[in-house]
Structure formats: C-alpha cells, structure tokens
Structure 1
Amino acid sequence: MLSRALLCLAVFSASTPLLADTVWLKNGDRLSGKIKVFDGGKLLIQTEYAGAIPIDWKQVKTLESDQELLVKQDAYTGEKAKSLQAAEDGKVTLANGEAPKTVELASIQQIMKPKPVVEDLVWKGNVDMALDYQRAEKDTDDYDIDFKTSARHGKWRHTAEGEYNREFQNDVVTTDNWRAEYALDRFLTDKWFWQGRLNYKRDKVEELARQRVVGTGPGYQFWDNELGAFSLGSLLNRTDYEYKDGGKDNFYSLAMKWDYNRYLIGKRVELFTNGEVGRPLSNIADYALDAEIGLRYKVTEWASLNLKAERDIISGTKDSDLNKTRYTAGFGVAW
C-alpha cells in the first residue's frame, strides 16, 4: 500500500506543472508566466512562449502569484505580500498568513520584488564601451567609455553619469576629455519633481578647457516603466568657463534638459536620446547644446551592442567656439 501511494504521488507530481503566476484579462484571455514588475500603468509578465509581455493594467481582471511581492498603493509606502490570490473582478487578495487583504486593482500603483535593504529601491543603469583601431596613412586609436545609472527610492531619485574620450592620430593626442554629472530629484507629485545637479567637464585639447555647471529647477516625468522613460526638466544654471590660455567666464543661463528611452521588439532594441540645450542670460555666448542619440541591441539579458552619435556645440563665445560631432559603435552591459 505504501509503495502504491508513493507511486501515485510521483505520477501526480510529474503531471502537475510548476507553479506560475497567472493574469486574467477582461476580454477572457489568461496569461501564465512570471510577474516581473508593475509600474507606470504596465504589468510586465515573463513567459516561456513569447518573452516579456507588457499588459495594460486597465485590462487586467484579476491575478495570482506564488512570489513574495511588494505592493504599493501610493508612491511611498507598500505592503509585502507572501503571495497574491485571485479575487472578484477588479480586485486581488494580498495573502499574509491569517490576515489576507483584498484591494482594488485601481488602487495599486506599483508591484515589484522587494529588495533586501531598501524594499522599493529601483536601480538601473548601463556602461557602454567603444574601441577603434585604424592602420592606414594616419594610424588612429580611439577609446570611448561612458556610464549612466539611476536609483529611485520613495520620493527621491539619484542619477550619476560620466564619460571619457581619448583619440590618437599617429601618436598625437587629438581628443582627450572627460565629464561627470550628479543629479538629485525630489518628486513633489507622481509626475512633477524638483532637480538639483552638478556637472563638470575637462578637456585637455580644446581651447575651452573646463566647464562647471550648478543648476536647479522643476521637471516633469511623462512616464517611467519597463518599456522606457521620458522626462523634461527646466534649469537655472550657474556656469563657469575656463579657457586654455587662462581666461575665465561665468554667467547664468536657462536650459531645457531631456531624457528619453524606449524598448522595442520585445525589449531587444533600445532607442535612447538625452541632452541639454541652454541660452545664457548675458552675451557671453549665443547658446550651448550637449546631446546624444543612439541604439542598443541586447545580445543577452545583460550584454548589448550600441551605436551612438554625440553633438557638443557652444556658439558665440568671445574666445573660441566649440562644435564637435562624434560617432561611436561598441559593446556594453546593462542592469
């Protein structure tokens, strides 16, 4: 009898599929997979048959999950549920032992896996590298590396980025510069935020040797979810220029800053652009533009190939204008 019971148990276990998260839609469809995140009105579920599928939250009837998930009903606080259980239309039950709680789907703003220390921490970023070696009438060695990372927790978002460029032609340095920036955003509402930022550029070849910028101002986050993000910010900047010959300028300016990225083709391809355009409040310069646009193609979950174009313009300075365009292709990592 014992052997028969064990045999039945083994057959039952083999025929039972592994537990998976399930999402029921209002049109009667049902999707099974693993819930990755819900943010910005999109629920992302990872499936074996179609990869990552984004679902409009308004189309979800109910859902269930065997994962431990952090469910946030406002922008700053959340409840950690041991699992999610299907409920009546438009609702879900947060299972926490003897005290389950059923909530409206419309009241949920975010669902994610809780982090070990800061439970609602969302951290993402990328590092891109490009190397170019040409052996011809002019031997050229070109190196480029840049990074960008952001971490958001509650009302705060930290963003750090930087880049380094160096180029030789016949052993003569023709490009040698680096840049670093840090920005701190404080969200006033779900969309509006106030930003403070510091930016420093150093160039050992161009006449404009150093640029220091301190700025602050409001911004608006149009969206930020698993499929991409888009924000605009307006800044009042204090800028200091230092030239190669020792000359200096400082002035205040108004600037518009943008940051956009969008994932396409099942998140295999990323289109991105970011930059800043500004105009001084005095006659020090006409305008300044620092922008980039590019594509990343994901080879694996973390590795990618990238193609990028950068434009850096400072027009109308009394000592020397700056007008540079740079194209790079390389590889990188993302998280």
Structure 2
Amino acid sequence: MFSRALLSIAVVSLSAPVLADTVWMKNGDRLTGTIKVFDGGKLLLDTKYGGAIALDWKEVKTLESDQQLLVKQGAYEGERAKSLQPAEAGKVILANGEAPKTVELASIEQILKPKPVVEDLVWKGRIDAALDYKRAEKDTDNYDIGFKTSARHGRWRHTADGEYNRDTQNDVTTNDNWNVEYSLDRFLTDQWFWQGRVDYTRDHIEDLERQRTVGTGPGYQFWDDELGAFSLGSLLNRTDYAYRDGGKDSFYSVAMKWDYNRYLIGKRFEFFTNGEVGKPLGSVADYSLDAELGVRYKVTEWASLNLKAERNVISGTEDSDLEKTRYTAGFGVNW
C-alpha cells in the first residue's frame, strides 16, 4: 500500500507542469521562461532555450506569471501583484487576492521583483581585476582593481566607484595610485537630474600627489534599462591640487561627464565608456581628461572578462603636462 502511494506521488510529480512565466506576442508567438525585469520599453525574459531575450513591449499581447512582482504604472509608485494573469490583447490582470485589477500594458512603466524593506530598490555593480606577474630578466608585478556600484530608489540614485593601480619592476614601483568617487543624483523628471559629487585621487609616484574635487550640476539620462544606459552631466567644480614639492593650486572649473554602456548579442558582450573632460576657470591648467573605454564578455551570469583602455591628461600645469595611458585585460564579477 505504501509503495503504491509513493508510486502515485512520483507519477503526479512527473506529470505536473513546470511552472514558468508566459508571454504571448502580437504575431502569435508564445514564449515561456522567467520574467526578470521590464524597463525602458524592453521585457527581459530568461529562457532555457535562448538565454536572456529582450522583447519589445509594444509587441507583447499579454503575459502570465506566478511570481510576486512590483508593477509600476507611474514613474515612482507601484503596486505589488501576487501574480499576473493573461487578459485580452494589450492588457494584463494584476491578481491581489479578492480584487484582481485589469490594466493596459501601455500604462505600465516598470515591472520589478520586489525587494525587502525598499521595494523598488534597483542595485547593480561590478568589480574588475587585472593581475600580471612576470618572472624573467626583469620581474614585473601589475595590479589593477576597480569597482562601480549604483543603487536607485524612487527619485534618488547613489553611485560609488573606485580604482587602485600599482606597477613594479625589479622591486621598483613605477605606478602607485588610487581614486574614489561618490555621486548623488536627484531626478527632477524621468530624464533630468541634479547631481552632487565628491572625487579624491592619491598618487604616490607622480608630481601631482593629491586631487580633490567637489562639484554639482544638472544631467540628462537618455535611457537606463536592461540593455544599457547613457547619461550626460555638466558640473561646476571646485578642485584642489597638491604637488609633491609642496606646491598647491585651487581653482574652479566647468566639466562634462558621460557614462555609456550597451549590451549586445543577447547580453553576452558589453561595450562601455565613461569619463570627464574639464576646463579650469583660470590659468592653473588648460584642460583635464579622465576617460575609460572597453568591452566585457559575460562568461556566466555573474562572471566576465574585460579589456580596457584608460587615458588621463592634465594639460598646462605649473610643471608640465601630466599624461598617462593604461591598457588592461582581466576578469570581473557583476550583480
């Protein structure tokens, strides 16, 4: 009797359908997988047969999900749905127990997995590392470790990034510096924001020993979704230089910042560039440039390989132009 019961349970388990989210397209296609996020006009569906697929929201007919999801019909307020149920073309039912609600797909701004405490918190980041050890006639050790992380909740976005570089040859250090930056953005509209930031750089080798910059100004977010982001910002900065010989400079400057990344080929490859170009309001320097350009290849959902080129220029300082170019290849983790 007991064996028959176990056999019945096994048969039911094997015959029961595997729960999955379903998306019906306007062209008649029916796709199954796991809904990851909807933002920026793209619905990201994670499938076993094709990986992560970005679907055009305008081509979605209706959808179904047994997940708890935060559905935002406005830019900053959302409704927590216990599940999504299919409806007529162009609509979906938000199931919340006794009072299901039918809404237009066109009215939905975002679909997110709710987070504990802060439901609409979106947190992402990465850590990249490049290490090179060479033992030959000339022993060399090269380290390059960097991180960037951002968290957005409602109208606020926090961003922090930093980097450490160190190169030695035959026990002689030829490059040793680190940099950290924190910025806080307040979104005034869906695209326009106001930014405040603090940046500090310490160099143990170059003549320019310390740099500290505090700035503020408006910015514009062209897009920010699962396939990438692009923003421009203009800043009025107060910068302080400290030189190795004891000299100091303080000045104001205007600057333009950019931050761009784009995923390609099913989010396997990522092209990215970010940086800042500034013009001092005085005779301390002609201009400054701090830029990064590179590509990443996702090996797994969390691991990646990267190639980067970095360029730092401060032209027209009290001693001479300061220029550095660095190329690295390494690995990283993403979340």
Matches within 5 A, 1:238-317: 238-317=238-317
Residues 181 and 198, structure 1, Cα contact 8 Å, conserved in 2:
yes
Counterpart in 1 of 2:182? 182
CA RMSD of aligned residues (A): 1.9
Counterpart in 2 of 1:31? 31
Counterpart in 2 of 1:87? 87
Displacement of 1:320 in angstroms is 2.9
| C-alpha distance in 1 between matches for 2:7 and 2:178 | 67
| C-alpha distance in 2 between matches for 1:295 and 1:123 | 21
Counterpart in 2 of 1:197? 197
> Identical aligned pairs, as a percentage?
80
| C-alpha distance in 2 between matches for 1:133 and 1:46 | 39
Displacement of 1:16 in angstroms is 3.8
Counterpart in 2 of 1:120? 120
Moved over 4 A (4+): 3-13
Counterpart in 1 of 2:74? 74
Counterpart in 2 of 1:111? 111
Displacement of 1:4 in angstroms is 9.6
| C-alpha distance in 2 between matches for 1:138 and 1:327 | 20
For 2:283, give the aligned amino acid.
Answer: N
For 1:281, give the aligned amino acid.
Answer: L
Displacement of 1:12 in angstroms is 5.7
| C-alpha distance in 1 between matches for 2:181 and 2:10 | 59
| C-alpha distance in 1 between matches for 2:195 and 2:260 | 17
For 2:227, give the aligned amino acid.
Answer: L
Displacement of 1:268 in angstroms is 1.5
Counterpart in 2 of 1:207? 207
CA spacing shift, 1:18–1:320, aligned 2, 3 Å: same
Matches within 5 A, 1:7-26: 11=11, 13-26=13-26
Displacement of 1:252 in angstroms is 0.9
Q: Structure 2 length as normaliser, TM-score?
A: 0.96
For 1:135, give the aligned amino acid.
Answer: R
Residues 207 and 320, structure 1, Cα contact 8 Å, conserved in 2:
no
Residues 202 and 210, structure 1, Cα contact 8 Å, conserved in 2:
yes
Specify the SS of the correspondent of 1:14. helix
In structure 1, stretches of 5+ residues that fail to align are: none
In structure 2, stretches of 5+ residues that fail to align are: none
Matches within 5 A, 1:165-176: 165-176=165-176
Displacement of 1:221 in angstroms is 0.7
Displacement of 1:15 in angstroms is 3.2
Summarize deviations over 1:237-276 as a string: whole Å, max 9, x none.
1111111111111111111101111111211111111100
| C-alpha distance in 1 between matches for 2:5 and 2:91 | 39
Summarize deviations over 1:91-125 as a string: whole Å, max 9, x none.
11100000111111111101011011111110000
| C-alpha distance in 2 between matches for 1:226 and 1:16 | 33
| C-alpha distance in 2 between matches for 1:138 and 1:108 | 61
Displacement of 1:298 in angstroms is 1.4
Summarize deviations over 1:24-65 as a string: whole Å, max 9, x none.
111221111110000111000011111110011111111111
For 1:294, give the aligned amino acid.
Answer: G
Specify the SS of the correspondent of 1:58. helix
Residues 23 and 32, structure 1, Cα contact 8 Å, conserved in 2:
yes
Residues 85 and 94, structure 1, Cα contact 8 Å, conserved in 2:
yes
Displacement of 1:134 in angstroms is 2.3
Q: Structure 1 length as normaliser, TM-score?
A: 0.96
Residues 208 and 320, structure 1, Cα contact 8 Å, conserved in 2:
no
Counterpart in 1 of 2:102? 102
